[in-house]
Chain A
């Protein structure tokens, strides 16, 4: 693994400039969709659901929706987005002719993916707050959590991007990895509904610790499992960040 430099900011700036030119096309996916899910599931389905502790269902799912859509943002950015830049637009080839290195590009892309997660997480948090679903001032830390979560999911996505042959391979990534996490990481129902073996398995899913942390911050209720969740989140982030640096170098230097 080779080190990256501060120059990765140049890649981040390039992506930021493009985003603020074209953001209107992206807004529905990351603002409107989570609101629809929140309302349909929370109010619609929620009317038929009684939670054990008397909590409103919409209150229960809001922190998970924040975590999930932050995940989606980083994942889309560093799969379809990065792959398009790499293979179709040859943007990385052009950048490699300048003083930037493969590692600068990789880290710039990951930080940009994380920034997308940060923005999405913050926007949905604000919406949830407007619906009076945010109960604790600890929720102020949600954007920070979304950023860290974003680094993790952007790294995993970019790792996958660096090894796939074609853009169609991302169907597997979303169908077999991202979507199952959306349903089985405790976003829509407590993991305790599952048999014990599934409960333990769900801790493998990187979204699970994020949902736990997000729910604690939004609700202001802390328990000892959260330290474990934070440790898992940090460890997975460091692991996939490092691997993606290696696999991107392998992909881009021929």
Chain B
């Protein structure tokens, strides 16, 4: 059974078609990444899947049930970690969790126990009586994720979960998300961090201007869109024209990004033909999801 299924889902705000006919299937137990530049429609899509925002067209199923008719049941099994901090500043850290548990109708004792569990999971035990404003940005973010787990969700929906975290915090969160995946908690992870997507996700979808451009496991997206390796050539603009011509004449697949030319789909370990004269300014590196992202969503700023 699918955890989440959207059928021809779209969302229109006045003149803007934020989500355009999206068909998405998230398998139970997988970590599914949703990637896209700012304004791609990721957050609008997530708001519809979490029953906060009504679709303009199409429908959503959560655990096989139509979301429109069963939004309460769906929301009871979802854990949502929003991009923006909406912790309750009028309450302490512990009260934030117990109050949130109460929205899920969790009993007082269980709420307290569950709160302590998620606090220790994200190393916040010694902050239980702190005010929200006393927490650092990283602690707030960890508390937001902890809060998303308070109802032991079957599906966890995370919007940029590690934004603003230091490396230690980021690895802590990645580690916990990996653990949750091994417990078969389905995850829908919205991120702009390609390293994060590659590290955590079984499959990713790349979204641009409201549409899904491509879906697949990170590795296979990389090999089909850019190959396993990327050659980078640093150029000054005098050499540019000639080099571009040269690459074109050799039938190479390349793109320009600032002063650097990226050459994709180079089959051999040899330096690609046409680049013989750039010793010291040519290097080879493994292809990443970021290369795929940039190829699919374009070089220029999306907004």
Interface of A (DSSP majority class): helix
**CB <8 Å contact, B99 and A14:** yes
A-B contact count (CB 8 A): 65
Q: Is B193 an interface residue (CB 8 A)?
A: no
Report yes or no: B99 in contact with A17, Cβ–Cβ below 8 A. yes
Q: Are A96 and B100 in contact (CB under 8 A)?
A: no
The smallest C-beta distance from B279 to any residue of chain A, in angstroms, reads 56
Q: B104–A94 contact, CB under 8 A?
A: no
Known A13-B102, A99-B105, A100-B103; contact A18-B91, beta-carbon cutoff 8 A: yes
Would you list the 7 A-B pairs with minimal beta carbon distance, nearest first? Answer: A90-B86, A98-B103, A97-B80, A94-B86, A18-B90, A99-B72, A99-B76
Say yes or no: A17-B103 contact (C-beta < 8 A), given A89-B86, A94-B82. Answer: no
Cα A21 to Cα B73 with chains together (Å): 32
B95 within 8 A of A: yes
Are B102 and A93 in touch, CB under 8 angstroms?
A: no
- With A18-B91, A89-B88, A254-B53: A97-B99 Cβ-Cβ less than 8 Å: no
Chain A residues near B (Cβ < 8 Å): 7, 10, 13-14, 17-18, 21-22, 89-91, 93-101, 253-254
Are A17's CB and B80's CB within 8 A?
no
Instruction: Give the bracket for the number of chain B residues in contact with chain A.
Output: 20 to 34
Cβ 8 A contact of A98, one of B75, B84, B85: B75
Enumerate chain B residues within 8 angstroms of A90, measured Cβ to Cβ: 84-86
Contact between chains at A91 and B104 (CB < 8 Å): no
Contact B104 A89 (CB under 8 A): no
B80, B88, B103 pick with most chain A CB within 10 angstroms: B103
The answer to whether A99 and B104 have CB atoms under 8 Å apart is yes
- Closest residue of A by beta carbon distance from B79: A97
Task: Collect the chain A residues with CB atoms within 8 Å of residue B54's CB.
Answer: 253
The verdict on B52 contacting chain A, using a C-beta distance below 8 Å, is: yes
Hey, which chain A residues are within 8 Å of B286, CB to CB? none
A93 close to B103 (CB less than 8 A) = no
With a CB–CB cut-off of 8 A, which chain B residues contact A89?
86, 88-90
Q: Which residue of A lies closest to B86 (CB)?
A: A90
Nearest CB in chain A to that of B13: its residue: A254
**Cα distance A22–B95 in the bound complex, in angstroms:** 14
> What is the bound-complex CA distance between A97 and B150, given in angstroms?
12
- Given contacts A13-B102, A14-B99, whether A101 and B90 have CB atoms under 8 Å apart is no
B75 touches A99 (CB 8 A): yes
Q: Which chain A residues border B85 with CB–CB below 8 Å?
A: 90
Which residues of B lie under 8 Å from residue A7 when comparing CB positions? 103, 105
Q: How far is the CA of A89 from the CA of B50 in the complex (A)?
A: 20
A97 & B72 in contact (Cβ 8 Å cutoff): no
**In the complex, what distance in Å separates the CA atom of A18 from the CA atom of B52?**
25
User: 0/1 per residue, B83-119, Cβ < 8 Å to A?
Assistant: 0111111110001000110111100000000000000
Given contacts A101-B72, A253-B53, contact A94 B90 (CB under 8 A): no
22 chain-A/chain-B pairs, Cβ below 8 angstroms: A10-B102, A10-B103, A13-B99, A13-B102, A14-B99, A17-B91, A17-B99, A18-B90, A89-B90, A90-B86, A91-B86, A93-B52, A93-B82, A94-B82, A94-B88, A97-B82, A98-B103, A99-B72, A99-B103, A100-B103, A253-B52, A254-B13
